[in-house]
Structure formats: structure tokens, C-alpha cells
Amino acid sequence: MKSILIVDDNLAVRRSLRALLEQHADWKVCGEGENGREGIDKAQKLHPDLIILDLSMPVMNGFEAAIQLKRLMPAVPLLMLTTFETSQISGAATMAGITTVKAKSGSTGDLIESVQALLDHTVE
């Protein structure tokens, strides 16, 4: 069973992601965070196999959280969800240690494929 941590300040997004991801028999959402700081704290306690981060959050944004998470847990892949997927955001995300960036408006099938690839460690 692969565990996934969801970090997004929007409760509706967290609930939707949880429902979508837990349809997969081998995946479990082990926890949720409302901001980057909370995400880091939960990641250290829960040791997830994958962390999904929102970009824009209060207290600490997704880039700041990713930099700290990569230092603390370098082997855990990070997937960033953002409202606007641009080359500038993707470049900054890569520099912060984020493996994959996906637009929130993208297809659920594409998101599921990305999650599977990250959990299988087929994305570098």
C-alpha cells in the first residue's frame, strides 16, 4: 500500500483529491495539510511515499515547502498542483526539487498516470 500526503489550503481540493486517489486499491491518503509548514510537519510524522503540494498556500507556499522537504526526505517524490502551469513555474518547481507539475484544470486520468509513475519511480 502506497501512502500519499496531500498539502493544499483548499478543503474541497483536498477532499476531491482524496476521493480520486483512494479509488486506486493500492493507494492510501495518509494525511492532509493546509499549508507548507503543516505539510512538512505531517510528512516527517507520516513518512509518505508521495507528497502532492499546492503552489499557492498561506504560511508557506509549495516552493518553500518543497525545498525543505527535499532536504529532509530526498527520496520522496513531489508532485505540484497549480492553477496555472507555465514554463516559468515548471522551471522554478524543478529548482525547488519538485518532480512533476500538473495543472489543477488537467484531466484526472493524466493526474492518476503521473501519481502512478512517481510511486513506481519511473519519473526522474
The angle subtended at Cα 32 by Cα 124 and Cα 95, nearest 5°, is 30
For the stretch 83-114, what's the b/e string if a residue is b when 16 or more beta carbons lie within 10 angstroms of its beta carbon? eebeeebeebbeebbbbbbbebeeeeeebeeb
Q: What percentage of the chain exceeds 90 in pLDDT? A: 73
What does the pLDDT look like over 80-120, one tens digit per residue? Answer: 998 877 788 888 888 999 999 998 888 899 999 999 999 99
Average pLDDT, the chain: 92
Rounded to whole angstroms, how far apart are CA atoms 124 and 107? 22
Domains contained in the chain, CATH given: 2-119 (3.40.50.2300)
pLDDT tier at 1 (50, 70, 90 boundaries)?
very high
Which residues of the chain form beta strands (DSSP E)?
2-7, 27-33, 50-54, 78-82, 100-103
